[in-house]
């Protein structure tokens, strides 16, 4: 398996994240305004919800960089409810306002990263999920966000467009989350390119062995809960994956 995003130098991680942002922005630019209200594969969200979410996420990550740079505690969101209300409000904005939201928040975050002193990258901040992490983790948080949601916009992007190191890191992260939360009993993900097997949790009487076979983009697509295109199971029907985020 390709190495992890987290092992790359800061500048390489920043470059991958900026590439992902440009990729997402390009997909957004391909949408006509009258296409914003169309549904996405994310339950309960149309494109306006998704675009608002990605925009507000950039602002939230900027808050963490402000925290890391100044030492002033600045959470991503006031609360989970506030985050949800923000997205709900954002989904009522017209396409022009949503495009402006995207442009403004992306620029704000890029400046925060550009101007961060070296010491800021190792400063500890707290994510919306309550994890204490170095501020360098914001690069992965945002990279994951833009590469995946570029696909979720449903324009032209696919999981095959995502750089291999990002896919590889996702295929490490998602099963680890399942293991830590005690789900995914019996699941084994098999990379058909190299035969690598990723065992989640042991099978039991209620959850027999279920192998999911596919190339890296298809495995990540399935594990991220998007769809089962590109994967198969020798044991029969491909099941729904456990929840990841």
> 32: how many CB neighbours lie within 10 A of its CB?
7
3-state SS assignment for residue 92: coil
Q: Count structural domains, the chain.
A: 2
- The whole-number average pLDDT for the span 152-180 is 97
Question: In the prediction, which pLDDT does 41 show?
Answer: 84
**Domain co-membership, 114 together with 16:** yes
Same domain flag for 177 and 60: no
**pLDDT tens readout for residues 184-234:** 999 999 999 899 999 999 999 899 999 999 999 999 999 999 999 999 999
pLDDT value at residue 100: 98
Whether 16 is covered by a domain: the verdict is: yes
Instruction: Let me know if residue 58 belongs to a domain.
Output: yes
Residue at a domain's end among 131, 157, 183: 157
Confidence of residue 245 (pLDDT cuts 50, 70, 90): confident
**pLDDT interval class at 242 (50, 70, 90):** very high
Domain identity same for 99 and 17 = yes
Q: Nearest-CA neighbor of 139 among 228, 7, 43?
A: 7
Q: What's residue 3's pLDDT?
A: 85
Considering the chain, what is the average pLDDT of its residues? 96
Q: Are residues 114 and 151 in the same domain?
A: yes
What's the confidence (pLDDT) of residue 2?
67
Identify the domain containing residue 199 by its residue range: 164-232
pLDDT range class, residue 1, cuts 50, 70, 90: very low
Residue 45 sits in a domain whose CATH number is 1.20.120.450
Shared domain for 29 and 82, answered yes or no, is yes
Asked whether residue 146 falls in the same domain as residue 189, the answer is no
Residue 240 lies in a domain: no
Q: Same domain, yes or no, for 111 and 59?
A: yes
| DSSP line for 225-236 | TS--TTEEBTTB
Are residues 23 and 100 located together in one domain of the fold? yes
Residue 70 belongs to a domain: yes
Whether residues 62 and 178 share a domain: the answer is no
pLDDT at 240: 95
Residues 206 and 136 in one domain: no
CATH of the domain at 168: 3.30.1050.20
Residue where a domain terminates, one of 157, 174, 209: 157
**Are the C-beta atoms of residues 40 and 152 closer than 8 Å to each other?**
yes
Q: Do residues 149 and 173 share a domain?
A: no
Q: Answer whether residue 238 is part of any domain.
A: no
Contacts with 125 (C-beta within 8 Å, 6 or more apart), sequence order: 64, 67, 68, 132, 133, 134, 135, 137, 138
Average pLDDT over residues 167-180: 96
pLDDT in tens, 61-85: 999 999 999 999 999 999 999 999 9
Do 173 and 79 belong to one domain? no
Residue 101 has pLDDT above 90, yes or no: yes
Q: pTM of the prediction?
A: 0.95
Please say whether the beta carbons of 102 and 28 come within 8 A.
yes
Phi, psi of 71 (to 5 degrees): 85, -5
């Amino acid at each position: 398996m390709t190495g992890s995003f987290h092992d790359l130098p800061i500048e390489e991680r920043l470059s991958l994240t900026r590439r992902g942002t440009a990729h997402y922005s390009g997909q957004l630019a391909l949408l006509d305004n009258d296409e914003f209200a169309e549904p996405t594969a994310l339950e309960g969200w149309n494109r306006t919800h998704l675009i608002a979410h990605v925009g507000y996420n950039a602002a939230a990550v900027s808050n963490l960089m402000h925290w890391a740079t100044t030492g002033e505690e600045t959470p991503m969101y006031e609360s989970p409810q506030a985050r949800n209300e923000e997205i709900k409000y954002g989904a009522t904005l017209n396409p022009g306002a949503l495009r402006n939201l995207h442009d403004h928040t992306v620029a704000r975050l890029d400046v925060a990263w550009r101007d961060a002193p070296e010491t800021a990258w190792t400063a500890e901040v707290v994510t919306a999920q309550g994890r204490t992490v170095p501020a360098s983790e914001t690069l992965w948080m945002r990279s994951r966000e833009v590469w995946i949601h570029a696909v979720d916009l449903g324009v032209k992007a696919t999981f095959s467009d995502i750089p291999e190191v990002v896919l590889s890191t996702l295929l490490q992260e998602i099963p680890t989350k399942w293991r830590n939360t005690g789900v995914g009993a019996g699941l084994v993900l098999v990379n058909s390119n190299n035969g690598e097997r990723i065992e989640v949790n042991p099978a039991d009487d209620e959850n027999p062995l279920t192998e999911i076979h596919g190339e890296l983009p298809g495995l990540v697509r399935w594990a991220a809960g998007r769809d089962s295109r590109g994967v198969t199971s020798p044991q029969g029907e491909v099941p729904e994956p456990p929840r990841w985020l």
